[in-house]
Amino acid sequence: MGGLKLDVRHKFFLLILISAVAFAAKDVVYGSIVFVIVCLLSFLLGQGKKVVKFASVYVFLLLFVAFSKYVPAILSSMILMVVLCIRMCMPIMLYGQTFLKTTPVSEMVTGLYAMKMPRAFVITFAVEMRFFPTVKEEVSHVRDAMSLRGIGFSLRNLRLRPALVFEGFITPLLVRASTIAEELSAASITRGLDNPAPRTAFIKLGITFKDICLTFIFAAMLISVLLFRANVWRW
């Protein structure tokens, strides 16, 4: 599904703002309002399916909170703390996934350079953004290899030989992760990412009137939630 295009610098700004507001609005009502705002933003950026998935999980968490009074008090308090942390992080996770899905790494790097971020930070960021998807593939390969050796993540193996299962998973994964990090760092340097000369880019960034309006509207809504919450608590 296609969606609106937003300048990467405005996406970074909204990511920081959503992170701050999501942790500030801890209670259910204002936290839910923030989540709805983020759902609307992600939907406009073309991530309708992702919004539905996150919204389903969020509704389940709210139902769990509503019925937590029927759970023993000690167990309920522990689970509610976990639910609170997940609920607070969900707007950030939703927008973070939307950001990653709608923004190529090259565009992120160009945007960071346009924002005059330190070169060391940009290099680290670029390597990390390529590191995690590669490690995700390696996890799948390691699990396939473990299954072929008969030590896959089955309940029987976890019950009878848990040490062997975790050793067979962690050891090759750490070795591959270290190798991947070195390869990506070398590749980034080879492509001139640490070159002190002024960089040129195929991607041309430009802030349009639509970008300004969209960012202003959603920033105003998020800040309004904080201000309204602060006034309610003061009263």
pTM: 0.76
**Rounded Cα–Cα distance for residues 64 and 60 (Å):** 6
Q: Give 32-61 as a DSSP string.
A: HHHHHHHHHHHHHTT-HHHHHHHHHHHHHH
- Of 18-32, 36-50, 108-122, 189-203, the one with minimum mean pLDDT is 189-203
pLDDT confidence of residue 200: 66
User: What percent of the chain is modeled with pLDDT above 70?
Assistant: 86
Q: Which two tokens stand for residue 101?
A: 């899905």
Q: Work out the pLDDT band at 194, boundaries 50, 70, 90.
A: low
What is the per-residue pLDDT for 51? 92
Other Cβ atoms less than 10 A from the Cβ of 123: the count is: 17
Q: What confidence score (pLDDT) does residue 183 get?
A: 79
What pLDDT does residue 231 have?
Answer: 67
Q: In the predicted model, what is the mean pLDDT of residues 44-60?
A: 91
Cα–Cα distance, 99 to 92 (Å, whole number):
10
- Give the pair of three-digit tokens for residue 36: 């709805």
Q: Given pLDDT bands bounded at 50, 70 and 90, which one contains residue 18?
A: very high
Q: What is the pLDDT of residue 234?
A: 52
pLDDT in tens, 89-121: 899 999 998 998 888 888 888 888 888 888 778
d(CA 147, CA 132): 23
- Residue 152 in this model has a pLDDT that exceeds 80: no
| Portion of the chain with pLDDT greater than 90, in percent | 21
- Which is nearest to 93 in space by CA: 7, 30, 44, 34? 34
Query: Given pLDDT bands bounded at 50, 70 and 90, which one contains residue 195?
Result: low
